[in-house]
Structure 1
Amino acid sequence: MTRMSTRAVLAASAALFALPAVPAIAQEAPADETTASNEITVIARRREERLLDVPIAISALSTEALDKAGAKDLSGVQGAIPNVNIVQGRGSASSANFYIRGIGQPDALQTFDPAVGVYVDGVYLSRIQGALLNLFDVQRVEVLRGPQGTLYGKNTIGGAVNVVSKKPDLNDLRGEASITYGRFDEVTAKGYVSAPLVADKLALSVAGVYDDRDGIVTDPATGRKYNDRNNLSGRAILRAQPTDTVEVLISGDYTRQRNSLTMGQATAPLIGFDYNADFSAVTPFVIAPAATGEWDYKASSSFAGDKGQKLDHWGVSGTINVDLSDTLQLVSISAYRKLKTDFFVDIDATTAEVGDVFVGTRQHQFSQELQLKLDADKLKGVLGVYYLNEHVTSHQEAYADSYLRYVGTPLNFLRTIDDEQDTKSYAAFGQLTYDFTDAVSLTGGLRYTRETKEYFRTTTATTSSPIFPALVIKGTFTFPTNLPAPYNTLDSVTYEAWTPSATLSYKPSRNTMLYGSVSRGFKSGGFNGRVNGLGDVTQVVDGTTVVVPTFKPETVWTYEVGAKGSFLDGRVNISGAAFYSDYANFQARVGGGNTGINGGSFPVLNAGKLRIQGFEFDVNVRPADPVTLFASVGYLDADYKEFNDGRRAPAFSCNPTGAKVTCKPAFAPPLTLRAGGEYRVPLGDATLSLGGDVRFVDKHYLSVDNRPGLTEDGYLIGNLYAQVDFDKFYLRGAVRNVGNTLYKTDGQEFSSVGNIQTVYYGDPRTWNVTLGVRF
């Protein structure tokens, strides 16, 4: 297995654009012979509209497109949409790392809010744990790029991922089922059935998925498998329509995951420290050297075989739609969700105990949203109020018996953390569109957000020696009460923000649109959930050491122009957008140094300002009925205009001289490309579909401070499938990552403890065969 050279990647990428037609499944699912692509509907603006009529940078993936892309969960959308990075979160089998246009939040800690909101049927998911949803009864996935707040219950600064489930059919029995077998003994079984219980009045749908796959990483010493899948999910939706003006939807879902460890590769030597007799000085030593050579999907852990990752995630929601008149509709969305995770994570990815942790999280949330929708002749829009009450607790243990020594003898180290956070979020929002003419419309929106967070954390670190029994060092730090005055009573903070938006759109014809927009995004501040001591909340500002126990909210102003068009009766569909974003108070967890006595700190700072600009382009072409071609391009020019780490410059500071920022924003590849197509061949009463795509992702960084080992140099991967459709049955074979390309997806940077820098890789070449039925 070899990594392609940059020159080869660029040459292959250039070859993509030599295709006679360049089109894109990311914008829309391929149209069939009876439904034009320009008739695809979305609910991005909280009402059903044609995709072409929405003046927003939005992509919509249908169920069929998701299946053919091989998407088992939301990470399968990765690469299908320009300037969108959706991958499995670091060290976890179920956390989702979302970046849109270079804006995201990879840290799974509960004190950080996601920068990209995930909504399931209008219900916001507060945590990135459990957000890597299985896609089994999904009608489509809508991805909105840019700040979203004047239409959605929870404000999100980077964008929104809107998962829309299939509604039960009130009149017809419908269903589908499939069974898949693939490489690494993959077995996936899916089922969905929708049945009317009372014609025109009451219907029920039930869906489930069982997804199991052996690990793709092997322990060469024990043969143990890591990075596996073992998921069981189900959802039931009851739909009632007692009158022509009232609809009630009650939904319940449950996800259970039982996985082995998720292992990566150490890219830097692990460094420990040997204390002298009176603990006044330390001598560094190498615990384990950095890995050499290419990743071969082999790794060893210090954890025993029974240590893995468990997740239980369930929720119930109720949606009531009431037509008050021909032009007014009232919508109520009530939801309760509960999340339980017990994760063992080998952060250092070696047999040494340096970054070995257990994280147990218990979270529940209640949300209530009310919307008043208006659909008059000239004026359309929505007014809403939103409330979220979230409670999160966690128990954490960190084991580091390999990290410290006392006069040459190993020390045992255990750190335990217990913390708790309560968040109450209130919002009022509204957006109205006025049609001056059939061609010209103006949309204005405004949102007020108020969030209050209460936080408490206790950390206890114990160091002892099996050789010197009398040597026991124990310290407890309670946040925030151990902080010096006046911060020792600061356990609650409140943030408020007004976030407006405005859009002017022009439709020269029914199937073309030009638009320009400006919007402000906001992401709440909060407490540093990694506080272990004063060093984590101590900064040097203008030469003075100060204590800053919280970090401020992030804000962004985004300016965008775009165009969409459908031509030749829907055979050619094109969309493009260019944008410019000014991003302030970027929330960064920076390295706190690795000096033994003073190391181990994890400051979270409002480190700087970003400028992000770029463009996106999608095209989908059907030159003949059997042929669909697609392509997409995403370009990002992301820079830190300011990066103040607020500390005495650590080795990898982004401004080591204090004068010039040397880093680039993480997870912001300058160029992302995708191209492919599908060819359908009649076979008597059946149809053969042959398709695939090629994806290129440019060089980008996996850590805030751009460490060399946490850098992806760019990659090119291809996917192929063949499917035979009969009247009700279908048979599909698929190969993902055809060229067996080695590529990095995420990284862990905890350099202040043992110099930990770990990288995670995407799947190698995989194949599967699926037999399915639809009725």
Structure 2
Amino acid sequence: MKLSQTAFAALLSGTIISTAFTVPVLAADNEPYALEEIQVTARRRSESLQDVPIAVTAFTAEALELRGAADITDLAQSAPSVTLEPSRATNSTLTAFIRGVGQQDPLAGFEQGVALYMDDVYLARPQGALLDIYDIERIEILRGPQGTLYGRNAVGGAIKYVTRRLSDETEASLKLSYGSYNQMDAVVQLSTPISEKVRIGGTFASLNRDGFGENLTTSDEHYNKKIMAARTSVEILPNEDVFIRIAADYTKDTSNPVSGHRVYDAVISGNPVLEDVYDTEAGASELPSTAGINGNNEVTAKGIQGSIEWSVNENITLKSITAYREDYTETVIDFDSLPIDDMDAPAIYDNSQFSQELQLLYEGDRLKGVLGAYYLDASAANDFDVVLGQTGRIFYGLPLAAYTGGTVDTKAWSLFADVTYDITDALSLSLGGRYTHDKRSADIFRANYFGNASPFLGNQDAILIAETSNYQNSRTFKDFSPRIALDYQLNDDTLAYASFSRGFKAGSFDPRGANFSSPEVENGFKPETLDSYEAGVKATFMDGRARTNIAVFYSDYKDMQIPGSLGVDSDDDGVNDSFVGTVTNAGKAVIKGIEFEGTFLVTEELTLQTSLNLLDADIKEWLLDGADVSDQRAVQNTPEFMSYVGLTYSTPAGSGTLNLNANWSHKGSVVQFETPLPEIDQKAYDITNASIVYVSEENVWSFGVHAKNLLDTRYKTAGYNFPPTVLGLENNITTFYGPPLTVTATFKYNF
């Protein structure tokens, strides 16, 4: 494994990091002080984080508030081997990678390599999945394959968003935030018991911010935020053995379209590269190319779920989780980021899912475990045009529109089990298995038109040139994935473990594939699998004032599903007038690494939190037209080195507590796509944050100031690569950037 100078220096310094990000526990006079114990449900039962033989990072709601975390992308600064970013051209679609496994393109027909759960409900699509942090109890990030404990198999890992249960007393709170770029947020929470057995509650959030830049063509804010969200729940406790929860949530994101920063001057129109990377000249929202969706850029996501827990006796608990979710997106994608329609794409995503999960949990003296059954019925559809206005007018006298409409349906069921047997008081064996049965059905249609848009996106006067794809097909994928783990309690405070687990993701169909030119796309693409070997040590020492975690893993990744797109010359005239989607089962990759986590109470008031990971991700085989091009490919969104150091100082002040937090994170260089491209790839960079939070006596109110990205670092999060040789004429290579320096003041009052 090759190490950068920064990585080598960090290893020499002996840096190690934490399995949980918490706030310090201040002791009473003359009493010993220690770190707060964190309870998680990573194995479907409540247990101490340090007793779980899985690589898990947990964040409590209190710790996230003290850091001023706004959404789940903030967690990637401190969680090892994790990348969480907004997908290109969006505010609320999530791109997630864990240990080199993820999905860059949020197309229909592709499930993410990282599974996101909201209160045990699997979110099948990434649209609307970039969750803002409010109304939570904790967030857990599990690294490595997760299939024997959860409803849906996950190749890379899982993120669990756990909301808080309602109190048996009336509670209400109001949180207001004001900050840079006219940020104005409000979060209102209210819950109350309406009888001894029924409680109701709800949260409303309005999250708003002006843009980091400006759209110089439309005069709109660019990189702004405008989100309204609500969550409500009813909890019923018929008796002490039964718990019923019915919950609903709704999110609407009406933020303006986001366009990338052009890397090169426009070839034909001559527009120069803009000085401010947050500005744009994108005009697609006001052009005829997006008239079919009225230039809208909007994501609506909503769902309802019901769960029942019945403690049959002291050993057995039965649980049912039923959920329905849907999301709808109209979005304006301006690939060229110019006032003209060199390459514009109005797009519609329409997704729905129904899931049912049943669990039997057993907890005896020596045997513990879960037996589950899961069913998923999901539909994912996309309709979009790629409008090549300038290409069409120059070469054919009329603009071109390449339409793609694709629907991929999934009907899946699975059985899973994971049991742990205590062979002795110190040695435990865990065995798990999962049987998966996935059926994918696809309905794909593609065609090229003369006109500013296709008939499917509002232009009834479009002239059909030719159909390029029209097929229906279905395939069924079956798999058994095992898991085995041994853990040994070296002493009361130290756990060592070793495990093997397999991740599986079914194959599917590319909704952009052109079967007329490439008949093989009708067969879809194959499943991918990952065999993960992991060993680790979790330790608590210094009388409970220090916790550390070390994990070492080796992953054998086969048939990686890599989506992409290519320009196509449909009439052999030397001009790419359309495009085709491609999915590569890329062959083989080996990903190995070391992860360290740790939290230390340096003094009663001062807490040190650190994290570090080293990853070596290497593609071993990538076949292209029979040739192995693996030496020209890389695992995307996977930096070799990541680290985090945070200091929190908490001390009594007046009648309350003053909390000072400062943290620094380093992320090594990444490639955005499987083929390195310096223009959009990101070199190593650092982010520094600081917060000051005062909490009054008995937590009645709090006031904080949070500064993010103090050094105003510019860093790329995504990009598009469409040079003139691929599609469009203006050299459309663009990049998207993370937030600049921001300062936010927050005030919260608990009534």
After TM superposition, the structure 1 stretch with the greater mean CA deviation from structure 2, 374-383 or 246-255, is: 246-255
Aligned partner of residue 254 in structure 2, secondary structure: strand
Determine the C-alpha separation between the residues in 1 that align with 2:594 and 2:522: 37
Write the distance in 2 (CA, Å) between the matches of 1:722 and 1:189.
20
Deviations 1:203-234 (A, max 9, x none): 12211211000111212355321111111111
Structure 2 residue runs of 5 or longer lacking an equivalent are 28-32, 287-293, 454-460
2:338 corresponds, among 350, 356, 360, to 350
Match of 2:24 in 1: 31
Q: Which residue of structure 1 aligns with residue 457 of structure 2?
A: none
Listed one character per residue, the Cα deviations across residues 529-548 of structure 1 (whole Å, up to 9, x for unaligned) are: 1124544x46xxxxxxx666
Q: How does 1:84-95 map to 2 (within 5 A)?
A: 84-95=82-93
Structure 1 position 194 matched with structure 2 position 191: yes
Whole-Å separation in 2 of the counterparts to 1:592 and 1:303? 22
**1:3-18 counterparts in 2 under 5 A?**
none
Q: Distance in 2 between matches of 1:384 and 1:116?
A: 20
Tell me which of 279, 284, 301 is aligned to 1:298: 279
Asked if the contact 1:265–1:291 (Cα under 8 Å) also holds between the matched residues in 2, the reply is: no
Shift of 1:746: 1.4
Q: Which amino acid aligns with 1:560?
A: E
Within 5 A, what are the aligned runs for 1:681-700? 681-700=651-670
Report the equivalent of 2:692: 722
CA distance in 2, matches of 1:288, 1:81: 44
* One-letter amino acid matched to 2:26: E
Distance between the aligned counterparts of 2:465 and 2:750, measured in 1? Answer: 63
Report the RMSD for the aligned CA atoms in angstroms. Answer: 2.5
**Residues 1:735 and 2:726 are matched in the alignment:** no
Partner SS, residue 624 of structure 1:
coil
Shift of 1:31: 2.9
Q: Deviations over 1:331-355 (max 9, x none)?
A: 0000011111111111232233233
Q: 1:275 is matched with which residue? A: none
Q: Could you tell me how far apart the structure 1 residues matched to 2:464 and 2:302 are?
A: 42
The 1:674–1:500 alpha-carbon spacing in structure 2 relative to 1, beyond 3 Å, is same
Q: Secondary structure at the match of 1:172?
A: coil
State the secondary structure of the residue aligned to 1:114. coil
**Which residue of the partner structure matches residue 113 of structure 1?**
111
Distance 1:547 1:418, change over 3 A: closer
Secondary structure of residue in 2 paired with 1:491: strand
Q: TM-score, normalised by structure 1?
A: 0.88
Task: Sort the Cα spacing of 1:645 and 1:583 in 2 relative to 1 into closer, same or farther, 3 A.
Answer: same
* Cα contact 2:360–2:370 (8 A) shared by 1: yes
Q: Which amino acid in 2 is paired with 1:526?
A: S
Q: Does 1:373 align with 2:361?
A: yes
Q: Distance in 2 between matches of 1:387 and 1:364?
A: 14
Indicate if the aligned counterparts of 2:645 and 2:665 stay in contact, CA closer than 8 A.
yes
Question: Structure 1 residue 239: deviation in Å?
Answer: 1.1
TM-score by length of 2: 0.91
Q: Kindly tell me: are residues 233 and 566 of structure 1, through their superposed partners in 2, closer, same or farther at Cα, counting changes over 3 Å?
A: same
Match of 1:401 in 2: 389
| Residue matched to 2:298 | 310
Distance in 1 (alpha carbons) for counterparts of 2:322 and 2:462:
55
Q: How far has the Cα of 1:689 moved from its partner? A: 1.2
Match of 1:58 in 2: 56
Counterpart of 1:487 in structure 2 is none
Residue 496 (structure 2) aligned to one of 514, 524, 527: 514
Q: Cα gap change, 1:293/1:612 in structure 2, threshold over 3 Å: closer, same or farther?
A: farther
CA contact (8 A) 2:274 2:280 kept: no
Instruction: Select between 320-329 and 423-432 the one with higher mean Cα deviation.
Output: 320-329
**Unaligned stretches of 5+ residues in structure 1:** 1-6, 271-285, 481-489, 539-545, 648-654
Whole-angstrom distance in 2 between the partners of 1:512 and 1:317: 39
Give the aligned partner of residue 210 of structure 1.
206
Q: Residues 294 and 699 (structure 1 numbering): CA distance in 2 closer, same or farther, change over 3 Å?
A: farther
Q: Does 1:413 align with 2:430?
A: no
* 1:258 aligned onto 2:254: yes
Residue 153 (structure 2) pairs with residue 155 (structure 1): yes
Question: What is the deviation of 1:686?
Answer: 2.2
Report the Cα distance in structure 1 between the residues aligned to 2:275 and 2:657, rounded to whole angstroms: 42
Match of 1:724, SS? Answer: strand
Match of 1:338 in 2: 326
Read off the aligned partner of 2:502 and give its amino acid letter. Answer: R
1-structure distance, mates of 2:364, 2:462: 77
User: 2:738: which partner in 1?
Assistant: 762
Moved more, 558-567 or 35-44: 35-44
The range that moved more, 327-336 or 722-731, is 722-731
Distance 1:156 1:660, change over 3 A: closer
Quickly say closer, same or farther: Cα 1:554–1:16, change in 2 above 3 A: closer
- Report the counterpart of residue 607 of structure 1 in structure 2: 586
1:574–1:660 distance in 2 versus 1, CA, 3 Å: closer
Matched letter for residue 184 of structure 1: Y
Q: 2:529 aligns with which of 555, 559, 565?
A: 555
2:423 and 2:270 map into 1 onto residues whose CA distance is 68
Is the CA contact 2:690–2:707 (under 8 Å) kept in the aligned structure 1? yes
Q: Mark the CA change 1:321 to 1:398 in structure 2 (over 3 Å): closer, same or farther.
A: same
Indicate the residue corresponding to 2:348 in structure 1.
Answer: 360
Aligned pairs for 1:90-489 (under 5 A) are: 90-169=88-167, 171-199=168-196, 201-267=197-263, 286-287=267-268, 292=273, 295-304=276-285, 307-406=295-394, 410-463=397-450, 474-480=465-471
Instruction: Confirm or deny: 8 A CA contact 1:38 1:50 kept in the other structure.
Output: no
- Matches of 1:250 and 1:471 in 2, distance apart? 48
Which shifted more, 662-671 or 339-348?
Answer: 339-348
Distance 1:426 1:473, change over 3 A: closer
**For residue 483 of structure 1, what is the aligned residue in structure 2?**
none
Determine the C-alpha separation between the residues in 1 that align with 2:462 and 2:169. Answer: 74
Alignment of 1:572-651 (within 5 A): 572-590=546-564, 592=566, 596-597=574-575, 600-646=579-625
- Aligned to 2:21, the other structure's residue is in SS state coil
Q: Is the 8 A contact 1:347 1:756 kept in 2?
A: yes
Rounded Cα–Cα distance in structure 2 between residues aligned with 1:140 and 1:311: 25
Shift of 1:633: 0.3
Report the alpha carbon displacement of residue 569 of structure 1 after superposing the two structures with TM. 3.0
Give the partner amino acid of 1:381.
G
Deviation at 1:293, TM superposition (A): 7.7
Q: 8 Å contact 1:479–1:531 — kept in the other structure?
A: no
Query: How far, CA to CA, are the matches of 1:81 and 1:122 in structure 2?
Result: 21
Structure 2 match to 1:565:
539
Query: Bigger shift: 356-365 or 658-667?
Result: 658-667
1:744 to 713, 716, 726: 716
SS of match in other structure, 1:65 = helix
Equivalent pair of 2:16/2:612 in contact (CA under 8 Å): no
In 2, Cα distance between the equivalents of 1:393 and 1:191? 34
Aligned pair count reads 719
Q: Residue 277 of structure 2 aligns to a residue in which SS?
A: coil
Q: CA deviation at 1:111?
A: 1.0
Deviation of residue 134 (structure 1)? 1.8
Distance across 1 between alignment mates of 2:135 and 2:623: 46
> Sequence identity, in percent?
31
CA contact (8 A) 1:91 1:264 kept: yes
Deviates more, 1:415-424 or 1:331-340: 415-424
Tell me by how many angstroms 1:295 deviates: 4.8
In 1: Cα distance, 2:134 partner to 2:274 partner: 39
Tell me which amino acid in the other structure corresponds to 1:302: G
Structure 1 592/342 Cα, relative in aligned 2: closer, same or farther at 3 Å?
Answer: closer
Superimposed CA distance per residue, residues 232-267 of structure 1 (whole angstroms, 9 cap, x where no aligned partner): 111112111111211111111111111101121233
- C-alpha deviations, 1:637-666, integer Å up to 9, x for none? 00100011348xxxxxxx7xx465222111
